Amino acid sequence: MKSPLLTLPGAVAAEAPDEGVAAHYGDLFREQRALADGSGFVDLSHRGVVTVSGDDRLSWLHLLLTQHVSSLEPGHATDALILSANGHIEHAVYLVDDGTTTWLHTEPGKQGDFVAYLESMRFFYRVEVLDRTEEYAVVHLPAGSIAEAPADAVVRETSYGRDLFVPRGSLPAVAEAYGPAVGVLAYEALRVEAHRPRLGLETDHRTIPHEVGWIGSAVHLEKGCYRGQETVARVHNLGKPPRRLVFLHLDGSEVKIPVHGDEVRLAADGPEGRRLGFITTSARHHELGPIALALVKRNLPPDAELIVGEDATAAAQEVVVAP
């Protein structure tokens, strides 16, 4: 859905997977610094919004999600996944319960498939699942923001800020109250800096939670009864994931930065060397310079000197998921 805030001065529309909102409003680094300082807001109104209501909502979601939510307290935010039978990640959702309804947001365009899956598992449970994307939008306030949430907002508070579920029609009022507006490129740069994975960027069709650091934050290891649990338990107790997420410091002398899918190789092997992984998200950071997240083979030494992409951009690793 196209955000009305794309009409704000300086707004430049974002590309996939963030179509519909602004990439930036004319000054990427100023916008990053605003977020880091706890000011401004990010328009995330392109994300899907789903609600689950009914007396059985938490006990039912507990059976489906990787997270322990049966006793989720009102106002307590958490993250969760939906896995395939083989333990591969299919959905990542970000939720909070307000005491009567569980509110979740998903990757843009994923809410339809997510709702369809929930409906297929409803059976006799007293729940109602609704796609509320046309009615509600997500707005992000950074950590440290002293702005008060609107009275009609549902607030999801995390360590890196607050996600507000607000009526879609109130987006212009939100922009006026919480400015300056910050684009998703700045939001993504701080996400990369914080090593937070994102579905569809840090994941592909065969990613399991262990590879990208979602064990603990989105997967509760002391609960069962969800699809894909056997893979989670087996890898955690007996094996090791085949790949691991890493943070990369990129050579800042290059004009271009690598993009999603660019291959990672050993510097010693050169541009024609063996593929050891790929870039998942890259960004230009206001303090760190060019940075990226990448998914690489688990046994790649953490101190290995790497090159990325056709331009053979030099890259140094920081461990996110231990080998």
Q: pLDDT over 90 for what percent of the chain?
A: 94
Residues 66 and 36 in one domain: no
Query: Do 65 and 186 share a structural domain?
Result: no
Evaluate whether residue 108 is within a structural domain. Answer: yes
Query: pLDDT digits over 25-63, tens only?
Result: 999 999 999 999 999 999 999 999 999 999 999 999 999
Considering its fold, how many domains does the chain have in total?
3
Q: Are residues 247 and 289 in the same domain?
A: yes
CA–CA dist 53, 128 (Å, integer): 5
The domain boundary residue, chosen from 111, 129, 147 = 129
Range in 80-84, 168-172, 190-194, 269-273 the model is least confident about: 269-273
Q: What is the mean pLDDT of the chain?
A: 96
CATH number at residue 313: 2.40.30.110
37 and 173: one domain? yes
16: containing domain? 4-45+135-194
| Sign of the C-alpha dihedral computed for residues 311, 316, 320 and 323 taken in this order | positive
The closest alpha carbon to 20, from 116, 137, 130, belongs to 137
Q: Is 123 left (phi over 0), alpha (psi -120 to 50) or beta?
A: left
Tell me: do 98 and 159 sit in the same domain: no
Within a domain: residue 88?
A: yes
- Select from 80, 98, 129 the last residue of a domain: 129
Side chain identity, residue 232: V
The answer on 52 and 41 residing in a single domain is no
Residues 54 and 109 in one domain: yes
Buried b or exposed e, range 187-208, using 16+ CB within 10 angstroms: bbbbbbbebbbbbbbbbeeebb
Q: Are 188 and 254 within one domain?
A: no
- Residue 240: its pLDDT value, please? 87
Question: Rounded CA gap, 97 and 114, in Å?
Answer: 18
What is the rounded average pLDDT of the residues 117-126? 96
User: Beta partners for 182?
Assistant: 42
* Torsion (CA) 36, 215, 217, 118 in degrees, nearest 10: 120
Instruction: Tell me if 203 is assigned to some domain.
Output: no
pLDDT at 252 over 90: no
pLDDT band at 254; cut points 50, 70, 90: confident
Cα dihedral value 197, 202, 208, 214, nearest 10: -10
Where residue 17 falls among pLDDT bands split at 50, 70, 90?
A: very high
- Are both 33 and 173 inside the same structural domain? yes
